[in-house]
Amino acid sequence: SKTQVGFIGLGNMGNPMAKNLLKHGYPVIATDVFPESCKELQELGAQIVDNPAEVADKADRIVTMLPSSPNVIDVYTGANGILKKVKKGSLLIDSSTIDPAVSKEMALAVEKMGAVFMDAPVSGGVGAATSGKLTFMVGGVEEEFTAAQELLSCMGANVVYCGAVGTGQAAKICNNMLLAIGMIGTSETMNLGIRLGLDPKLLAKILNMSSGRCWSSDTYNPVPGVMEGVPSGNNYQGGFGTQLMAKDLGLAQATATNTKTPVPLGSLAHQIYRMMCARGYAGKDFSSVFMFLREDEKE
Ligand code: NAD
């Protein structure tokens, strides 16, 4: 029978991901600082404990899905962190999007305890997390990849080995910089078309059969009423928070600066998402940039 898998961070993404582990027959032992996040999983049969150390005490495979670098550092190295109780030979997979340098730091600390760390950030959003169709970008020792794949394939359609620790994060940061640019581009395009008198559904349909098509136009359209089952149809609740996107663009900027890489549009996208955070959009889905661009209507 399958042994317990630990899961830490049951937010918008972690909750549906952990559910898919349960669905595949893995007993799950989980924790989150926000007790309300644990309710659904507990009702489905997961064991809920108080902190990451208790998870590490019981499970030798653990997935973390946390907002950002400081949360990951806390969950691994904090007073009740994983490293307080981690067993030798454990496999620790971090699927949060964080600074690749922090992934490398965690990998070193985990290695000192005789365990294995891999970074495995994801792409796909809450929809793909729910349907088990995420893309995982995995960094770490190649010999451990098969073991990671066994778990990750329960939650994803694509599990891609990228190279040494931190390279999963590198791939993810690049993807999200392009996603941000694409979402802003889709939003300003849709807004212009609407003001030119086009019906938004018709415009989306035309874009999606033309060269402007992208994920933001055909899978996650930012205009309310164009698509069902996306945050724009639900007052931009759930989904991928604007604050998280601003974080990812900050990571892209830092790595671009370090490597002297020009990223002019990534830079502009970062500033736009930072401004949105300061204007009340922090907790809304990142597709709300469409509403941000329409604020001139209030004037
Ligand atoms: P979220 O904020 O909805 O969930 C994070 C969860 O972690 C929350 O429930 C929070 O209470 C918990 N948490 C924070 N600190 C903790 C701690 N110290 N101990 C235990 N639990 C703690 O975020 P999310 O949307 O699920 O995203 C998680 C990660 O995945 C982020 O790095 C994000 O950038 C990335 N991501 C998100 C999406 C998306 O569409 N939402 C897509 C791809 C990648």
Tens of pLDDT, residue by residue over 183-212, are: 999 999 999 999 999 999 999 999 999 999
Assess whether the C-beta atom of 13 lies below 6 angstroms from ligand 1: yes
pLDDT tens-digit profile of 145-187?
A: 999 999 999 999 999 999 999 999 999 999 999 999 999 999 9
pLDDT tens-digit profile of 6-43?
A: 999 999 999 999 999 999 999 999 999 999 999 999 99
- For the chain, the domains span 5-164, 170-298
* 2 belongs to the catalytic site: no
Rounded to the nearest angstrom, the distance between the alpha carbon of 32 and the centre of ligand 1 is 10
Atom of ligand 1 nearest to the CA of 37: 9
Check if the beta carbon of residue 112 is closer than 8 Å to that of residue 90: no
Tell me whether domains 5-164 and 170-298 share a fold.
Answer: no
Which stretches within 153-284 are classed as H helix? Answer: 167-195, 200-208, 215-218, 242-258, 264-276
Atom of ligand 1 nearest to the CA of 125: 40
Q: What is the CATH number of domain 5-164?
A: 3.40.50.720
Q: Which of 178, 190, 179 is nearest to 290 (CA)?
A: 190
Whether ipTM > 0.95 holds is yes
Assess whether the C-beta atom of 231 lies below 6 angstroms from ligand 1: no
Q: Which of 19, 58, 172, 247 is catalytic?
A: 172
pTM (predicted TM-score)? 0.94
Q: Match domain 170-298 to its CATH number in 1.10.1040.10, 3.30.70.100, 1.10.460.10, 1.10.3720.10.
A: 1.10.1040.10
Q: If you average pLDDT over every residue of the chain, what do you get?
A: 97
Atom of ligand 1 nearest to the CA of 74: 18
pLDDT tens-digit profile of 43-66?
A: 999 999 999 999 999 999 999 999
Check if the beta carbon of residue 155 is closer than 8 Å to that of residue 130: no
